[in-house]
A = this chain, B = another copy of it.
Amino acid sequence: MKPIIAVIGGSTCTPEETVVAEETGRLLAHHGAVLVCGGLGGVMEAAAKGARANGGTTVGILPGADPRAANAYIDIPLATGLGEMRNFLIVRTAHALIAIGGGVGTLSEIVLAQRIGKPVVGLHDSFRTTVDIPRVESAAEAVQWALGRAQQEVV
């Protein structure tokens, strides 16, 4: 089974977050992981763009009922019609999560991950004084961490 790694973060983001999200997507695809994200813009789009550039599979779990809301780099747009409750599905379906930047939606995903015991790592996430999760400083470290934890989840 391929590892399924979620990259979570804001639908708008800084240039630095864009760069690190795209690099994370590239590395995930390089290591054969499936990328899951919320399917919209910002960090989600950058990560999907990176994964797509390396031939990876990208899944977007969308809040609305229209798959065409997905960004251009999503192979499999899952239009749930669930609104923000789709955040829960991202957390539930990923083997591990990488948080980059992010606002309150991303924070809800981190907290839900903690709630159900799903591994989540912060990579320049916005919540350093808010939630106590492992942190790393580079896309390479984040991907290594997530793949290591995913392996424990799926074995």
A interface list, Cβ under 8 A from B: 1-2, 4, 34, 57, 59, 65, 67-68, 70, 75-85, 87-89, 92-93, 95, 104-105, 107-108, 111-112, 114-116, 129-131, 154
**5 closest pairs, A vs B, by CB?**
A78-B93, A108-B111, A85-B88, A104-B114, A104-B115
Nearest CB in chain B to that of A34: its residue: B76
Q: Enumerate 16 A-B pairs (CB-CB under 8 Å) in ascending A order.
A: A1-B70, A4-B77, A57-B76, A76-B76, A79-B93, A82-B83, A82-B85, A84-B88, A89-B89, A104-B111, A107-B111, A108-B108, A108-B112, A108-B115, A111-B111, A129-B129
CB atoms of A80 and B67 under 8 A apart: no
Answer whether A59 and B76 are a contact pair too, CB < 8 Å, given A67-B95, A68-B154, A115-B105. yes
Among A2, A59, A93, the most chain B Cβ lie within 10 Å of the Cβ of A93
Residue on B nearest A127 in the bound complex, by CB? B130
The answer to whether B77 and A65 have CB atoms under 8 Å apart is: no
